[in-house]
Amino acid sequence: MSKQTMIEQLHRDYKRSLTRNKRWVHFFQIIIFLTFFVLWEIASRFHWIDPLIFSSPSKVWELLKENILDGSIFPHIWTTVFETILGFIIGTVAGTILAAILWWSPFLSKILDPYLVVLNAMPKVAIGPILIVALGPTMTSIVVMGAIISVIITTIVVYTSFRDVDQNYLKVLQTFGATRWQCFKEAILPSSFPTIVSTLKVNVGLSWVGVVVGEFLVSKQGLGYLIIYGFQVFNFTLVMQSLFIIVIFATIMYKLVEYIEKKIVKNG
């Protein structure tokens, strides 16, 4: 056997071992998934857990099917998804703008530094009630909740990235007489783009928290509302169903942002 065919053979073996490994990983992932739901179902049927509180996969499934067929679940889904998307976009954009202002004026950023620390440390959902009193029990309050929860951390992360841009890139621009705005547009912003997109990923998750809490507090519609309603009327199948939908949509949104990130950062 020549060296060439030997190497080819070894490479095939190597690739085969990779696929085999991947198959095992998938296998165990599915096992865990099935075990969880089967155990849940059995435990509920045999009253190892209180079926009134923990419901069961079959009951959740039945309810979900019913709600999908009569269409009653969709307004709740769209409301929450809409609020979340709006919340995290506003949070990210506002955070980036604030970061730009801080970068613009180092003096201002020094002044505001301790306030940022305090605001960042504060648990944002705690101001929910105040928001609702101030803005009224409307969708606006909920969207603001979804935004406010991510805005400060975005500001801090993006500002740090603005500041860490290699100063020599600015020097290059300055030798051509660039203004501060041109420096921002040509160097600071594009070189921080990957950071901004990666904060999007974090902010999606944060906005779900903000929006669901907001819906707990005021709304008449949305998945958070369904959870708190189910809780109040002691319908935990409804709670579980809403939770299930939230998990699905939060994952979809996260994957979507991840996909966008890959596209953008690869081109950059």
Partner 1 sequence: MSFLEIQDVTHSYFSKQSKTTALIDVSLSIQEGEFISFLGPSGCGKTTLLSIISGLIEPTIGHVLLENEKVTGTNKKTGYMLQQDYLFPWKTIEENIFIGLKLTKQLNEKTKQNTITLLEKMGLKNVSKQFPSQLSGGMRQRVALVRTLATNPKLLLLDEPFSALDFQTKLKLEDLVFSTLKQFQKTAILVTHDIGEAIAMSDRIYLFTNRPGTVHRVFHVPDELRREIPFHARSHEQYSDIFQEIWKELEELEQTNDD
Q: Give contact residues for partner 1 (rule: CB under 8 A).
A: 166, 168-169, 171-178, 182, 186-187, 190-191, 193, 268
> Min. distance of Cβ 174 from partner 1 in angstroms?
5
> Min. distance of Cβ 266 from partner 1 in angstroms?
11
> Min. distance of Cβ 110 from partner 1 in angstroms?
14
> Min. distance of Cβ 214 from partner 1 in angstroms?
37
The smaller minimum CB distance to partner 1, of residues 101 and 264, is found at 264
Any long-range contacts for 78-83 (C-beta under 8 Å, 24+ apart)? Answer: 79/139, 79/219, 79/221, 79/222, 79/223, 80/211, 80/212, 80/215, 80/222, 80/223, 80/224, 80/246, 80/249, 81/249, 81/253, 83/139, 83/142, 83/143, 83/146, 83/211, 83/214, 83/215, 83/222
The smaller minimum CB distance to partner 1, of residues 75 and 190, is found at 190
> Min. distance of Cβ 268 from partner 1 in angstroms?
5
Cα torsion 159, 87, 120, 247 to 10°: value is -110
CA 102 to each of CA 129, 167, 179, 186: distance values in angstroms, whole numbers, following the listed order: 29, 17, 17, 18
Cα 236 from Cα 72, distance rounded (Å): 18
Which residue, chain included where needed, has tokens 């955070």? 95
The smaller minimum CB distance to partner 1, of residues 116 and 178, is found at 178
The smaller minimum CB distance to partner 1, of residues 89 and 172, is found at 172
Cα 151 from Cα 172, distance rounded (Å): 32
Burial call 167-186: b when 16+ CB within 10 Å, e when fewer: eeebeebeeeebeeeebbeb
The smaller minimum CB distance to partner 1, of residues 243 and 264, is found at 264
> Min. distance of Cβ 173 from partner 1 in angstroms?
7
The smaller minimum CB distance to partner 1, of residues 197 and 253, is found at 197
